[in-house]
Amino acid sequence: MKVVEAAIRVAEEGDGPPIAAIYGPYVRDTAISFEIEPPTAPMMADRIARTLETHPWLVAEIGGKVVGYAYAGKHRERPAYRWTVDTTIYLDTSVHRRGIGRALYLILLEILRDQGFRSAFAEIVLPNAGSIRLHESLGFGAIGIHEHIGFKLGCWHDIGYWRMALAQPTLSPCEPVAFADLRVTSGFVKRLQLVVSE
């Protein structure tokens, strides 16, 4: 066993290339993502910039290399949904089951609470035991399945839905704070130590 130094920070547009490299194999080779063509690095940079205006996008680094990312976004466009977010996480396959996904998610959820969001949803293409285990260990609860909702790689796939309550509902909720208006965006870095197998 050895101790590995990792860091979690707010993403930047310059992270487009490593994020595209992490995400590409999931798009090309699996049904975990329902995209068909892997986004280019400039496309990912644009997604990061647009997301950070309103929601957090975090990256995890080991030795200065981006090895994973997590972000949140609108659950739906209509105004009454504005207290609800969808969450997304992807890791380089070389760092699965090292605690990086959990660390990313815990910080992401903390920021979402600070912003004033009430519910977080995760959509998981089934089967995906690892993702289900991660989400349920963090407190997400299963709420249902859409059967045969996506066709990719020659077959139909189901999506399961998981929800986490970020705060108790109130009759006069405060408006969520845009991520760009939070102080955490400036120089935010969370350092952690991971114990991993050689």
Q: What is the mean pLDDT of each run of 10 residues along the chain (198 residues)?
A: 82 97 98 97 98 96 95 96 98 89 95 96 97 97 97 98 95 93 65 57
Q: What are the structural domains, with CATH classification, of the chain?
A: 2-196 (3.40.630.30)
What is each CA distance from 173 to 70, 118, 177, in whole angstroms?
Answer: 26, 9, 12
pLDDT value of residue 197: 47
Q: How far apart are CA 177 and CA 112, in angstroms?
A: 9
pLDDT at 2: 67
| Helical axes 100-115 vs 129-138, angle rounded to 10° | 50
Q: Residue 182's pLDDT is what?
A: 82
Alpha-carbon torsion (38, 94, 187, 122), positive or negative: positive
Provide φ and ψ at 56, rounded to 5°. Answer: -75, 145
User: What three-state secondary structure class fits 127?
Assistant: coil
Q: Residue 48 in contact with residue 16, Cβ under 8 Å?
A: yes
Residue 160, strand partner residues: 124, 145
pLDDT, position 5? 81
- Our CA dihedral for 63, 33, 106, 4, rounded to 10 degrees, sits at -20
Alpha-carbon gap, residue 167 to 170, rounded angstroms: 9
